[in-house]
Copies of this chain bind each other. A is one copy, B any other.
């Protein structure tokens, strides 16, 4: 195999109660990448379509992630004499809160690993993709790259050492994601957070994390819904997102199990049981932003249990 074309899925991190630890993978929202083996050593970003992003390897999240993978492969197997040319076709807008940088970083390592006949297991690729996240927002977080690579839901139990648990999605779980067309940088969304939280709120939060994980394993949609609360981050961050309260309320009134900020925003997600409810929520959310004259994009997707796909 000299060339690979892959679908790089968008992801929803945090999922209300699971700030910095939980994420899920979307199915029909994402970028595409074409990666080609080259006789010239090194990593080159040869083409970016759909976004104004740097082509310099060291300045590009896909480039940085690929370099981290190559370094590890060489440490494991010895020098690699070939190189890789990467084309990125972006559909996920930067700063949307659905894992735009993660899709590129994870896609690069997934594709190159496949072209090298899988020296690493998919789970082990998370650490390399995280280097792309570090470039994108200063923080090597895994809650988008892990679900992008592994699919379904992922829990980052620990960073030191890195310990990622994949949880299969209940079969009828759908996400609706609305992206109001304002840009909210992850770094800005992080800067509003407080360094300390009340023990009382923290206890409620980990009760809900436990409930959400239990709901996923038992396919208990009601329990998933009851657990989708964020005591800590949403009350602070949601004021940065126009219409947040109304969008969330609208989602819940239209049958959502729960709703919250996707990643660091500004996208807002709702989870629901079944495609019909997810579509109904999308229609109702759209009406809210139309009434506000705010441009938006909207996505409806099953949770994608596979993650990255070769296409």
Contacts and interface: CB of A to CB of B under 8 A. Distances in A.
Interface stretch (A157-165, A178-186, A261-269): A157-165
A214 B211 contact: no
Given A165-B214, A167-B214, A214-B213, A155 B207 contact: yes
Give the interface centre of A156, A158, A199 by most chain B CB atoms within 10 Å: A199
A155 B211 contact: yes
Interface stretch (A18-26, A86-94, A296-304): A18-26
Given A163-B226, A165-B223, A223-B165, A157 B199 contact: no
Nearest to A161: B226
Contacts of A167: 214
Interface stretch (A33-41, A73-81, A188-196): A188-196
A199 B204 CA distance: 14
A209 interface: yes
Contacts of A195: 198-200
26 contacts: A19-B203, A21-B207, A155-B214, A157-B208, A157-B210, A157-B211, A157-B223, A157-B226, A158-B204, A158-B208, A158-B226, A163-B211, A165-B210, A165-B211, A195-B198, A196-B196, A202-B205, A202-B206, A202-B232, A206-B206, A209-B209, A209-B210, A210-B213, A213-B213, A213-B214, A217-B217
